[in-house]
Amino acid sequence: MSLSNLLVVDGDPKVFLISFLLLLLIISEPCFFSKKGTPWCLTTGLKEQFVTINENKIIYNVLYMKQKYLYLYNNLINYTRNKDLYKDLNREDNFSDRLTLFLLHFSFFLKNYKNDENKTVLQEIYDFNFRQLELSIREIGYGDQSINKKMKDYINLFHSMVSEIHFWEDLSKSNKLEKISIFLNDFGNIEYLLDYFENFNDDLSKKTLNSYLKSVSNP
């Protein structure tokens, strides 16, 4: 007997998780609980009890992860809203520009906190951020085929950024300007942007990963 198909009424909702590509959906359906808040299926056998407990743990962990990493995601979004970053752009900024800045901030973030101790957390952050990006693309109105191609392009772009800045502290200023120009060629005053990301990188080096997970930063 599978609890995922149980009809439940009178009380708390039961939550089902549907995962495809990089997107995680949470769908609520009615569940049957007793007046004391106990699901009736707990009386049907030990196996069903364990399934219920495991499902609840999965739901709790996913919702906790979403809340936990949402602070960081919002921090990165806030950085891209800094109008000074666009002041020398030779055209009107667009979604692609903001996304490029988002990914560049994120690449510096991963560079600073990448180590064996943070490996699992950073992987979860990576997965969460790219799920949110896919949601943003879907909201714009792209179809599944276009989304798949764009997500592949964005992921490749991000990994290219991570590769280019991997040895950032060992690079000369001219080399750093070249690296930044690869991704922000339309932005005009590259020296200003280099100074900005130097400061951002320095700020990251002085903070712990937990500080970014628990607070919202202003650009």
pLDDT tens by residue, 122-169:
999 999 999 998 888 888 777 778 888 889 999 999 999 999 999 999
Q: Are residues 173 and 123 located together in one domain of the fold? A: yes
Least confident of 19-33, 56-70, 129-143, 171-185: 19-33
| Residue 58 within any structural domain of the chain | yes
Asked whether the predicted pLDDT for residue 29 surpasses 60, the reply is no
Which pLDDT score, from 0 to 100, does residue 20 have?
Answer: 28
pLDDT cut 70: percent of the chain above it:
67
Lookup: tokens for 146 = 């276009």
Q: Are residues 9 and 115 located together in one domain of the fold? A: no
Q: Are residues 16 and 73 located together in one domain of the fold? A: no
**What is the C-alpha to C-alpha distance for residues 211 and 70, in angstroms, rounded to an integer?**
13
Q: Are residues 60 and 81 located together in one domain of the fold? A: no
Range of the domain at 13: 3-66
Q: Are residues 43 and 83 located together in one domain of the fold? A: no
